[in-house]
Amino acid sequence: MYHFVSHAPSYVFLALLLITNSNAPVRVLSGLNPLEKAPDFALPKLAAPKETVSLQTLDRPAVLVFGEPYHQQTLESLVQLKNICDAVSLTEADVRVLLIFSQSPSKEQMAQLQAEERIGVEILLDKSLKAFGDYGVTVLPSTVVIDKQGRIELALSGVPLSYADMVEDAILVATGRITRQQRESSESAAQTVEQQESVKKAHRLASLASQLAQRDFTALALQRYREALELDGTYVQARIGVAKCLLKMNLLPDATAELQKVLQADADHVEANLLMSQLEIMQGGDAVAEGKARLQQILTAQPEHPQANYLMGTVCEAAGDTEHALNYYKKAAKRLLEAGAN
């Protein structure tokens, strides 16, 4: 097996590590086969450099995530791991998550890693890239699931659409929750309900996209929303999510096009009309009147709608009508306070 033993990171090698495409076919790590022993390593902990971690002392299944602290999709894989462990009630007592970097994270990157509530992870440093080489890592992140005997259950490159399903199944087998035969039977049965599974995956991707958007990973959220639409083109909330991301990125024509698709199917869709009115107000000129009319239509049906009242307040304030603006702002604030109290 090829070993990457250089003590100075290769720029070509690091460039290859940045190549990742969630739309690409599922790829396994080259040279790593299920049920074979995983290559051992002895890597220092970031938190305690004098302590090393080796697979020889493994006392429970482990998930190895090869990534880098600056790499957003590495963070995304950790979010997905947290969701998986929550879904099947696993903690760090059941499975050990080892995050392997070749570079030490900065204070800002470390704060970002610690900001979110995730399953406990141990960060290991592989500055020589030897473990990266032993595991054949050429794409970030790469994920390897190992049982407590150190045997490989899964070796996966990147974050494909099926990432959550594949990693969850591998962890369940590694922890003894299901047998390999049960996993194979489940995969066989899943093929007969492919359309239903596509819809489920679309909803899972949209849920992940929503979490990413809340964490200001807008580009990644946009990518996940679009992947959800590829699986289920009728999923309205995914299209709304695409529009929100495009709006946040100030890509107004693209956002408008997505909202028009929603409104063509449902002219009264409240959230789509709200976003469209926001776009029209941002465009200025004659479009403001269109946005105002759209908001008035929403408020006729829902007089207490907080977002509609707030946006109408901004329109009035911009027009110099401070009295009406204040009334709309008060309605919006009152409704939001009531919602918070409940």
What's the whole-number mean pLDDT along residues 178-184?
A: 80
Instruction: Work out the pLDDT band at 4, boundaries 50, 70, 90.
Output: very low
C-alpha distances in Å from residue 188, one per residue of 5, 130, 183, 271: 41, 37, 9, 39
Tell me what pLDDT residue 296 has: 92
**Burial class of 327 by CB neighbour count within 10 A (0 to 12, 13 to 18, 19+):** middle
Tokens of 51: 């302590």
Cα separation, 238 vs 9, in Å, equals 40
For 177, residues 6+ apart whose C-beta sits below 8 A from its C-beta are 88, 171
- pLDDT above 70: residue 43: yes
Cis peptide before 25 (omega within 30 of 0): no
φ, ψ of residue 2 in degrees (nearest 5): -70, 135
Does 265 score more than 80 pLDDT? yes
CA triplet 224, 221, 30: central angle to 5 degrees?
Answer: 55
Q: What is the pLDDT of residue 111?
A: 82
Name the residue type at position 165. Answer: D
For the cut 90, the answer to whether the pLDDT of residue 86 exceeds it is no
Angle at CA 330, nearest 5°, toward 326 and 333?
135
Q: List, in order, residues 6 or more apart from 268 with CB less than 8 Å away.
A: none
- CA angle in degrees (0–180, nearest 5) for 184-95-141: 75
Neighbour-count burial for 2-41, b at 16+ CB within 10 Å, e otherwise:
eebeeeebeeebeeebeebebeeeeebbeebeeeeebbeb
Q: Domain limits of the chain? A: 11-178, 192-254
pLDDT at residue 10 tops 80: no
Each residue's pLDDT tens digit, 51-76: 999 998 888 999 999 999 988 889 88
| The domain made up of 11-178 is a member of CATH 3.40.30.10 | yes
CA 56: distance to chain centroid? 32
In this prediction the pTM is: 0.54
User: The tokens 């009152």 sit on which residue?
Assistant: 334
- As a whole number, mean pLDDT of residues 173-179 equals 87
Vertex 59: Cα angle to 55 and 60 (nearest 5): 95
Q: Are 179 and 94 in contact (CB under 8 A)?
A: no
pLDDT recorded at residue 212 = 92
State which H helix or E strand residue 1 sits in.
none
Span 114-135, pLDDT tens digits: 765 556 899 999 999 999 999 9
DSSP-derived secondary structure letter, 168: H
